[in-house]
């Protein structure tokens, strides 16, 4: 693959080596991850581009229900040969990785792609009403339920209202 212009297409599925994602949602360790990648030899190294597919599992940020999300995240990165002197601005680019010239360590670039594609706050549905802040009931199951006395500090006011009404 050292010859510039050479290209190889790889399509492979493998178990995730570790959780790919954030604390809230991610592809669990051992779950299948599918990579469709093109490896293209360029002057400085190997240009990798393609897609990572998998199923992320997480927790709804409002009601704590399980959230499943299909991922189809674009992957791209330049793996530079160890002897490549990169131009200054490349150093800061997050899509540039060093490699030993033999083995591409894809975990980081795949992880970055997956994390970028995941929601910051996973939700079971966009309008999830969440949990009742008094009793923890799922408001999606019981949207109209209320509590008579909301807080001890309200109790005095509540009895005042009751007196007025009676």
Which residue, 60 or 106, is less far from Zn ion as judged by CB? 60
- Residue 9 near residue 38 (C-beta atoms within 8 A): yes
Contacts of 127 (CB under 8 A, 6+ apart): none
Q: Which is nearer to Zn ion, 141 or 163 (CB)?
A: 141
Tell me how far, at minimum, the Cβ of 130 lies from Zn ion, in Å: 6
Instruction: Please identify, using beta-carbon distances, which residue of 62 and 111 lies nearer to Zn ion.
Output: 62
The total number of residues written for the chain in this structure: 166
Q: Tell me the closest approach of the beta carbon of residue 59 to Zn ion, in angstroms.
A: 9
* C-alpha distances in Å from residue 31, one per residue of 13, 73, 76, 153: 10, 16, 22, 49
Shortest CB 158 distance to Zn ion, Å: 16
The site string for Zn ion over 64-103 (x = CB under 5 A, - otherwise) reads -x--------------------------------------
Write out the binding residues for Zn ion, residues 119-148 only, by CB under 5 A: 124, 128, 132, 134-135, 137
Give the E-state strand segments of the chain in sequence order. 7-15, 20-21, 25-27, 32-41, 45-59, 66-80, 96-98
**CA 121 to CA 56: how far, in whole Å?**
13
* Residue reference for tokens 């409002």: 62
Question: ∠110-89-85 over CA atoms, to 5°?
Answer: 85
Least Å from the CB of residue 23 to Zn ion: 17
**Residues 25-64: x/- map of binding to Zn ion (CB under 5 A)?**
-----------------------------------x-xx-
Binding site for Zn ion (CB under 5 A): 60, 62-63, 65, 124, 128, 132, 134-135, 137
């Amino acid at each position: 693959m050292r010859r510039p212009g050479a290209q190889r297409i790889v399509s492979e599925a493998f178990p995730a080596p570790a959780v790919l994602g954030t604390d809230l949602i991610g592809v669990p360790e051992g779950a299948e991850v599918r990579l469709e990648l093109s490896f293209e030899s360029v002057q400085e190294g190997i240009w990798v581009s393609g897609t990572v597919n998998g199923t992320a599992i997480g927790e709804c940020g409002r009601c704590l229900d399980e959230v499943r999300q299909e991922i189809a995240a674009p992957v791209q990165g330049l793996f530079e040969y160890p002897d490549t002197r990169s131009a200054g601005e490349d150093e800061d680019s997050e899509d540039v990785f060093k490699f030993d010239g033999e083995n591409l360590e894809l975990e980081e670039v795949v992880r970055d792609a997956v994390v970028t594609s995941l929601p910051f706050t996973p939700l079971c549905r966009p309008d999830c009403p969440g949990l009742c802040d008094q009793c923890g009931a799922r408001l999606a199951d019981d949207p109209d339920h209320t509590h008579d006395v909301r807080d001890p500090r309200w109790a005095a006011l509540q009895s005042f209202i009751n007196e007025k009404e009676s």
